[in-house]
Amino acid sequence: MKQSKKMLKDLVSDAIQYISMQSYSTVSVYHYTRIWRHLIRYAENKQVEYFSMDFGIEFLRECAKMGDFSKLTKYDISKLRAIKVLNDLSQGNKIKRKYLCTPVEGPVSFREASENYRIYLLRKGQKESTVQTKISRIRIFFIYLEQHSLSLKDFDFGVINGFYAFLSRKYATNAISNIQFTLRDFLRFAEDYGLVSNRSSFLIPTIYSNKHEGLPSTYSRDEIKAILNAIDRSTRYGKRDYAMLLLAVQLGMRSTDICHLRTDSIHWQGSIISFIQEKTGLHTNLPMTELLIYALADYLKNARPKTDSALLFVHMGANSGTGYTESNLYAVINKYMKKSEINTCGKRHGMHAMRHSLSSELLKEGTPLPVISAILGHSGTEITKRYLWMDTEQLRQVALEVPYEEQ
């Protein structure tokens, strides 16, 4: 969706139409509509014609008396969600079925700089998800400046050294390097707009990053078999969960791609799953195994609710017809990991671990690196090479023998 600049009344009208066409309950539609109408009256009193997230937060603070956003009641959370729906709609973003409870707010004195940086990144053609990540990183820098009563004009070696010391106390090495890269990018933008003195970005020292700092977690074939065997496939929920986990285990699909799969993504005649990766935007075709074909057919015939939704995997019961989120899939796999009683101590235990496990198995089988990259949907083999660090047996096979010399 393209970003739109609509008057608040028109935006609310679009929002009401949107949720009415989705699978929202009558009670939810009434609740959101009521909040938005209060917002319109508040805007009229303030003589505000257009919506912004800051204005929405102001409305919640003054009208809904929501002072502490870290301690929200269930009713407060629903009010906040109504505001976030408007914000996503105004920015042309995909409307989420679930939001973080706490709004992401930066210091008031830096909000204009933050918004201008966001617009700058979007104009450069960067993806919305990338922009949001960079804004969240630079917000850490703004919070540091405010806590020390500093402005952007105060930026110098002393400020950068103090900020780096602050980061070292709170963040891992890889996270710190990511924040540093974003800070340097922001400073280049700020130089062009006169927010900082020229050549401020050159004050950033050499940035050291280690992509292999956090090694991926993998599980053995027996462990994965135990996870799959823990699923009760005689139930509707089990049929659904089994099909979802097979996509991660056998094809290495990311959680976000599994969530966004459509019923027309499955091409039965060619035994192919065809989709566009959410992360890379690449069109991908993956061959289905016989086991996966059976599992998907069983789910579609005997478990999937009757719904107009184009999504392949949808909720059952109270939320029938609504799509899944990555956090939903995380809960699903953890349920069966606990049930199978496999050891997850010191290891990551989400759906992505299944992706890493597949790459490790393919490597052990001698699959060429470009083929593994294609299966995982990587843009190049450099990303896939990270998984080589996991396979000790393979490293032993390619290690050079050190000649022994008698003394």
On whether the CB atoms of residues 312 and 306 are closer than 8 A, the answer is: no
- Secondary structure (DSSP) of 109-169: GGHHHHHHHHHHHHHTT--HHHHHHHHHHHHHHHHHHHHTT--GGG-SHHHHHHHHHHHHH
Q: Which two tokens stand for residue 105?
A: 């707010």
Evaluate whether 271 touches 293 at the Cβ level (below 8 Å): yes
Say how far apart CA 300 and CA 294 lie, in whole Å: 10
Does residue 387 have an active-site annotation?
A: yes
Residue whose tokens read 């257009």? 50
C-alpha span between 71 and 101 (Å, rounded): 9
Given 233, 239, 240, 254, which residue is catalytic? 254
Residue 398 contacts by C-beta under 8 Å, 6 or more apart in sequence?
Answer: none
Which two tokens mark 111?
A: 């909000």
Rounded Cα–Cα distance for residues 31 and 339 (Å): 39
Instruction: Single out the catalytic residue among 137, 233, 349, 355.
Output: 355
User: What values do phi and psi take at 302, rounded to 5?
Assistant: -120, -5
With tokens 């709170």, the residue in question is 170
DSSP code of residue 72: -
Cα 276 to chain centroid distance, Å, stands at: 16
- Whether 279 is a known active-site residue: answer yes
Q: Which of 96, 279, 338, 348 is catalytic?
A: 279
SS3 state at 323: strand
Type of residue at 315: H
State how far the Cα of 192 lies from the Cα of 116, in Å rounded to an integer.
Answer: 12
Beta bridge partners of 266: 273
Query: Distance of CA 391 to CAs 222, 357, 396, Å?
Result: 17, 10, 9
325 contacts: CB under 8 Å, gap ≥ 6: 96, 97, 98, 259
Q: What is the CA radius of gyration of the chain?
A: 25
254 is catalytic: yes
Is 306 noted as a catalytic residue in this protein? Answer: no
Residue with tokens 């280690």: 210
Is 307:314 a contact under the CB 8 Å cutoff? yes
The catalytic residues are 254, 279, 352, 355, 378, 387
